[in-house]
Chains A and B, each alone.
Chain A
């Protein structure tokens, strides 16, 4: 079934000034813990010898892949590729925090929130898209480097930017024979492939072949067990009253 929309980002590398407005905006919009981040601006370093120097920056986040290695390994079905627009979303209510997807993501674009016991990642601010707003990082990008939109719409910001780009690059990865991640961040107007920030092969906690057969029942049992622990703790709280968690 073809998606009606194909959402993704275009990043104009030449226009990023590393001001980090995007990082703060994302942190606030998505209530990201103080010791974590959903998105990045990688400093590619100062190259050359004084005074012949160059420096560039690489805005970075979930690539919302066409063929995401992360969703394949999800035990609970919490993370999935949205069938309508292709964004990789994550239902934190359903996430059990096993972290398999964190290891599987070739772009290191996910993190495990230890405090809440769930995985978190860029969701392109779907809550904002639903009300006609741009993702928080894009809306506030001072240099106009981060763009977002529907690649299927020829009049979208991203389609127009690709049409006018001097160069287009993606961090694509053949992670299985004949299978490419197909990332939906397009980097324009700068060479990012030599940045050293390219993808790594997915890491799997168990052997890839047939692991699901063995693991799913195991995980189901584990989830059940975890529920029992929670239920016990909840009952205990009801009896003893809630204690300060942090002290």
Chain B
């Protein structure tokens, strides 16, 4: 490994320095960290012991028990009381303390002194840094209107405070990661089931269909564990993926389908099931709109038709359809997660929603799909009082809803904001406030994103490390890591969980609750932040339930014991109250009301589909600088089938030049049987530009450099796999 790695001695030295900094830092936390835990005898008088908190190495938010010794966190365990961890953490969760003790942490507010992207910053006080950010934002608001400020953040527990800044400020321009990730899935399930993302129940599952859901590598700890347990007790897994992933190696049947044609496979399955009435139709029909007309609507999608599109033999499709139907409510067609593959991914998700609907698995207790709304637990947290947001009349730069009528407002179309910044249409954005996000590496077409940043007067970033976007910012505000701060509470399965600091924040890092309150007050939005400190905010959240924060701190969770009345009828949050395979909403907006075939784009013979997809050791583009994960990750290489490598004279570990319509990278090759010959796969999230990340800098190649921007008009989802590339020996 050629990357600089910190020796264990450095690791300890950094820890020592951080411990020293605690005394010097002004007290953000009014109570000493974990005072309540000490008084509950969970920590000994020296402060050693375990403190319960919550992971933030991905969005699954496992419960964590952090082992603390001499003011340092030395080990993380999964909390057995949390249904997402059940006592376990994945590699990323286990490595979390290295993110906190990353030698490249940003520990003081920074103000740019060199050119953008030169990486020259000076240290500033919080007072000065916040004053600069607030005055720039107010200047932009005064000169160009509040809509000239763009705000963006990836979903997290302090989203409420972030949204208070943006909505209180009066900007409609809100970029989230969602359109780059799960817009297709969420929009399809909202339209069909009235719920963003149904949960999965593996307790009795007998037949699992994963459409590219690489559960063994895109890990959600409890669900991945549940899948492995289900397979061990004999459940069948059919897995569609052009790549032989680690999930494929577990599958009963791996179908290396042509990218973009899984929709044809699924439509063929639906055709077979409804034509021959293989399911419990009479029961299902009571709760599903469109059941009676479905055979006619699917008439053309015979398994033979599907074979002509996706290349999977009709008999295979027919057999899998019959096996799926035979498993009845113990069958599960997984909704997926990152479903930003093709323009037709929305239709693929509609077909998945339909397969589940006709199996009846969401209609019976113990079925494999749980379509209850998250509010069903009845736990309603309090919040500080706040005024109404100002009225916003400016158009959203992301085109919702004036260009994308069906995209839910909270999902948005992030990649469109970047385009609007460049074109200045419908108006020119001037500033960008970014939190916990790295659009330089996440939005397709990195060069264009950097071009957009060059058009802005002002960029501020909140993060724990000098990520690529922070590297190009004017002001960087250092956030405390998840092991150093409080966040708003999180309810999982009716149980209230707490993220709390297990060590004092290092340097001058501060919680998001503190940062947004400070910024809000400077923007004249103090009324949106009516709490004195983090603990006061949490007490206000607990107040309506009559629950005690000190007890929550010692246990890490509380059970509010709210009686929830069993619903007397099965009702979905859709216009009809039923599952809508036939969607009038879609029809009224000018789209097909039925799940429908849409021909996906295909590469010319000299080009490959560029596949993306996670590895189990990293989360998006945010963890590549974590040295423990770096230690146990595979080298990021591009996968190439032998039949594609041979004519190019390329062997494993050779360098190749990969070109798309928008960019090119040079990257090392892995020649492998584990991929279709018309595809290449590049591990996402590598190729960082920031020299402030000494481990991640220049390691591997960036997929965002290659990705071309294509947006689905229905869901606003980006179509990542529609990027086609050439590969030649470098």
Contact = CB atoms under 8 A, between A and B. Distances in A.
Q: Are A and B genuine complex partners?
A: yes
Interface of A: 12, 14-15, 17-21, 23-25, 27-29, 31, 33-35, 37, 46, 48-51, 53-56, 115, 136, 139-145, 245-246
Nearest to A143: B228
Nearest to B634: A43
A28 B97 contact: yes
Given A18-B616, A19-B90, A50-B676, A246 B9 contact: yes
B673 A21 contact: no
**Which 6 residue pairs of A and B lie closest in terms of their CB atoms, listed nearest first?**
A55-B249, A24-B94, A17-B216, A19-B616, A143-B228, A21-B91
A200 B513 CA distance: 58
Interface of B is mostly: mixed
Contacts of B641: 50
B254 A17 contact: no
Interface centre among B5, B76, B246, B631 (most CB of A within 10 A): B631
B355 to A, nearest CB: 23
21 contacts: A12-B232, A17-B224, A17-B246, A19-B216, A21-B88, A21-B91, A24-B628, A28-B94, A46-B244, A50-B256, A50-B673, A50-B674, A50-B676, A53-B673, A55-B248, A115-B9, A140-B87, A141-B88, A142-B225, A144-B228, A144-B229
B87 A21 contact: no
Interface string B665-684: 00000001111110000000
Interface string B1-33: 000011111110000000000000000000000
Contacts of B628: 24, 27-28
A139 B77 contact: yes
Interface in B512-532: none
B7 A246 contact: yes
Contacts of B93: 21, 140
B78 interface: yes
Interface string B594-636: 0000000000000000000000110000000001110110000
A124 to B, nearest CB: 16
B306 interface: no
B403 interface: no
B179 interface: no
Contact of A34 (B7, B78, B246): B7
B74 interface: yes
A28 B95 contact: yes
Interface in B264-288: none
B89 interface: yes
Given A20-B91, A24-B632, A246-B7, A140 B244 contact: no
B343 to A, nearest CB: 26
A37 B246 CA distance: 23
A53 B229 CA distance: 22
Contact of B249 (A12, A34, A54): A54
A53 B88 contact: no
Nearest to A30: B75
Given A46-B674, A55-B246, 10 more contacts: A17-B224, A19-B219, A21-B90, A25-B89, A34-B6, A37-B632, A50-B675, A136-B75, A141-B88, A142-B224
Indicate the member of A21, A35, A46, A49 with the most B CB atoms within 10 Å: A21
A15 B631 contact: no
A142 B5 contact: no
Contacts of A53: 244, 248-249, 254, 673-674
Contacts of B76: 28
